[in-house]
Every structure is written in structure tokens, then in C-alpha cells.
A and B are shown apart, each in its own frame.
Chain A
Amino acid sequence: NAGVTQTPKFQVLKTGQSMTLQCAQDMNHNSMYWYRQDPGMGLRLIYYSASEGTTDKGEVPNGYNVSRLNKREFSLRLESAAPSQTSVYFCASSALGRQGYYEQYFGPGTRLTVT
């Protein structure tokens, strides 16, 4: 049981390049999320997907697109990377936890640098 996996772990892009961050979970969770973490800012929600085929904007969606390819996979795309998108990106999925309430489980993160 791998939990939530993210690829790549590290990436360096030049301004204007595009790339897709991949996320997959093997826990059969309906909901998946993308966050970014910046120094001094905490984690902020970019996009989320309540179920396969649906996606919605979070706090900071500008410059990003997402695809919920199937129940397992939720990808985040940067169409034209900017230095302001240098960050650590975390994917999460949520499920009924051991205490009987939904809680989110996080992947290891992707460290992206845009030069």
C-alpha cells in the first residue's frame, strides 16, 4: 500500500516552460487536493476534486490547471511557468480515518524551482 505518490520529486524549469505534476493514490479515495507550500505562507489550496470527473478552484488557482484522470490520479499542470510558482507542491487525498472522521493523507511533495 503506497498511499499517495507524487512525481517528480524535484524539477527545475525555465520561465515559460510547461510541465505536469503527477499524483496517484491507491486507497480508493474520492477526494483529492493540490496544495503549495511557500516559506512563511503555510500550505494553500490550489485545486481540489471531490470525485472523479469534477474539479474546483481553491485559494490560489491562477496559473494552474488540473485533471482528474480517474479515481486514482489527479494531475496539476503549469502551462507557462513563472518564478512565483517556485514552491513545494503537495498532493493529498481524503478518507474516513481511524477516528471515524474524514482526514487528509499527504504525498511526499514535489520541489519545483522556476528560474
Chain B
Amino acid sequence: KQEVTQIPAALSVPEGENLVLNCSFTDSAIYNLQWFRQDPGKGLTSLLLIQSSQREQTSGRLNASLDKSSGRSTLYIAASQPGDSATYLCAVELPIPYITQGGSEKLVFGKGTKLTVNP
């Protein structure tokens, strides 16, 4: 059974600091890996999706890497800002058995890292 672990569970940093969030998964047979952001009381916003054949993806100050063979992904946030305060969720995308129709994959989530960036 696929398990996804995120470390640390919570992180508090001063504004301007560069930081790394970690995600590990137990089974390397994944389609993709996705990082989400969740603000308190809100839904999930997709930040980055890394295909299983890729090593990294970048969007603005965010960079996500994937090492499928070791079952690890990291989310790097450069020059953190108070607006980055949120919970960050990592999810691996798995095929649903016997369903071959594209778009029918399930996500297995980690428990998240709660990030606080202090002004």
C-alpha cells in the first residue's frame, strides 16, 4: 500500500528565508507527483505537477524535484514571504486498476506541512 510522508509537520521561518519541504513515498510506481497549497478553511490549489519521467518543475519562486527511485520529492521555496503561509500537501498519482480511460487516477496524500512565514 502506497504511503506518503511529509516532513516536517510544521515549520516556522522568518521572512526572506529559503526553505525546503520534504515528501517521501513508499512505492515508486507512480504516474506523477503533485504539490498543493491549502489555506485555512479553503480548498486545494495545485502548485506544481511533476511527471514521473521528469526530475523537476519550476514556477516562480517554487521548485519541486522528484527522485522516483528513492521515493522522494522536495519543494523548494525561495525568498519566503508571509503570503506563503499555508499548509503544503504532497500527493502521488496512482493508476486505478482496470480503468484505462485517461484522467482516472487516484491521489494519495501526505498529511501536509504547515508553514508559517513571520514578517
Contact B104 A41 (CB under 8 A): no
A29 to chain B: closest residue by CB: B103
Contact mask for chain A residues 13-50; partner B; CB cutoff 8 A; 1 contact, 0 none? 00000000000000001110101000011111100101
Number of A-B contacts (CB under 8 A): 79
Assess the A108–B43 pair: CB atoms within 8 A: yes
* A to B CB contacts below 8 Å, 25 in the list: A29-B103, A31-B101, A31-B103, A42-B89, A42-B110, A43-B44, A43-B91, A48-B96, A50-B96, A50-B101, A50-B104, A58-B106, A95-B103, A96-B102, A99-B57, A101-B32, A101-B49, A101-B51, A103-B49, A104-B107, A105-B46, A106-B43, A108-B42, A109-B42, A109-B43
Given contacts A56-B96, A101-B32, contact A94 B105 (CB under 8 A): yes
Q: What residues of chain B have their CB less than 8 Å away from a CB belonging to chain A?
A: 4, 31-32, 34, 36, 41-46, 49, 51, 57, 89, 91, 93, 96, 99, 101-112
Q: Contact check, A41 vs B106: say whether CB atoms are below 8 A apart.
A: no
Question: Which residues of chain A are near B109, meaning CB under 8 Å?
Answer: 42-44
Quick one: which of A30, A51, A102 has the most chain B CB within 10 A? A102
Say which size band chain A's interface belongs to: 20 to 34
